[in-house]
Homo-oligomer: A and B are copies of this chain.
């Protein structure tokens, strides 16, 4: 048995080593079908583990209908829904194509995606550009305002940011996150610090490559007006950081956590690309005026990749203002979340530290064994979507990853190692 323990320890050491060795750099914005050549017309990538139309939740159905109209695959929302129900579209998880997407997580051929390259390992990860707040597709919005914004992201902002990033040679992201942790960000429900740092980093190159100052002004106003602009960058960073950690034989480290609004799924290094799923839970949180938990959709999105790398709920101590925003108790109690998450992590990240904890690093390397042994589930800071298509965000809260995923993963790992 001690051989097995040693093997797991060595595998996990290698997993954490790869996480800490990551060097993620935001290098470009390009159309999704350039980034992911497998993307074809009619193919829609979504958040979370695999799910078919019949089991999709309301906001994801709303987003599917909207993106089909946006891509010209349907005449209107009703036509799109009919086609979806008739099997006209091909659904796959973002995670199967080096991509991630927030909430509904729509990724299709013509959308612009940000490209994060992990320079240590040479892999790339992709995420669309954050749409801002209000009625947006990631929360199931699909009306003309939503689609018009997506068109401008595709034709205006995306190419502009891409040109700026190419001109300046990219933005190394590890230092941005390190700084954000000293600015009250946890990179999931609060990205105000990092969003400002990104604008500071790219705005000179945006100006140098701009053809027109009015369009430039619109781009600067859009980026500067969106406190969550960095979220999607942090997600692509997370995906680029975790993909090289996959497939280490014997490793019990979680490489992905993700939800599609119906199921919560995790992947573990030692079991490769297998998903372990359980019904997704309902966030507990605070609602925008006029909404209650009766309006809420269960938890959704690939954004849990940020918790997978030790941010979000794991870094709550860095972001006392978030604790109140997500209804997780008083600000002075924020550190308790980080301390709890340290119990299920193998180590800490010496480059991503939290001043208020005297520079303790964020908990790094979620170990499925520790989750199952302690019964402490990963804490996730999340936005809450309305359960009906087309409405949008109704609040923000905290949700626990279902323990069932971790129990299944542990059984599968044991079987794989011949001890079950």
Contact = CB atoms under 8 A, between A and B. Distances in A.
Given A200-B196, A207-B207, A355 B321 contact: yes
Given A200-B223, A321-B355, 17 more contacts: A183-B184, A193-B193, A196-B197, A199-B200, A199-B203, A203-B220, A203-B224, A205-B217, A206-B220, A207-B214, A207-B216, A207-B217, A210-B213, A216-B216, A331-B355, A331-B358, A331-B359
Nearest to A331: B355
Contacts of A197: 196
Interface residues of A, number: 40
A357 B330 CA distance: 9
A204 B183 contact: no
How many copies of this kind of chain does the complex include? 2
A180 to B, nearest CB: 9
Contacts of A324: 355
Interface in A170-207: 179, 182-184, 192-193, 195-197, 199-201, 203-207
A332 interface: yes
**Cβ-closest 7 pairs across A and B:** A196-B196, A200-B224, A207-B217, A320-B355, A204-B221, A321-B355, A331-B355
A356 interface: yes
Contacts of A359: 331
Nearest to A182: B321
A208 interface: yes
Interface of A: 179, 182-184, 192-193, 195-197, 199-201, 203-208, 210, 213-214, 216-218, 220-221, 223-225, 320-321, 324, 330-332, 355-359
B356 A356 contact: yes
A157 to B, nearest CB: 13
Nearest to A217: B207
A291 B324 CA distance: 43
A175 to B, nearest CB: 13
A179 B185 CA distance: 12
Contact of A208 (B179, B217, B356): B217
A377 B331 CA distance: 29
Contacts of A213: 207-208, 210, 213, 216
A192 B203 contact: no
A398 B331 CA distance: 27
A333 to B, nearest CB: 9
24 contacts: A179-B192, A182-B321, A183-B184, A183-B193, A184-B193, A193-B193, A196-B200, A199-B200, A199-B224, A200-B223, A200-B224, A200-B225, A207-B207, A207-B210, A207-B213, A207-B214, A207-B220, A208-B213, A208-B217, A320-B355, A324-B355, A331-B355, A331-B357, A332-B358
Contacts of A208: 213-214, 217
Nearest to A356: B320
Could you say which of A225, A355, A358 has the most chain B C-beta atoms within 10 Å of its C-beta? A355
A332 B356 contact: yes
A379 to B, nearest CB: 18
A203 to B, nearest CB: 4
Contacts of A200: 195-196, 199, 223-225
A330 B216 CA distance: 43
Contacts of A218: 204
Contacts of A192: 179, 182-183, 193
A197 B197 CA distance: 9
A352 to B, nearest CB: 14
Nearest to A214: B208
Contacts of A182: 184, 192, 321
A356 B205 CA distance: 36
Nearest to A211: B213
Nearest to A201: B224
A42 to B, nearest CB: 38
A230 to B, nearest CB: 11
A223 B200 CA distance: 8
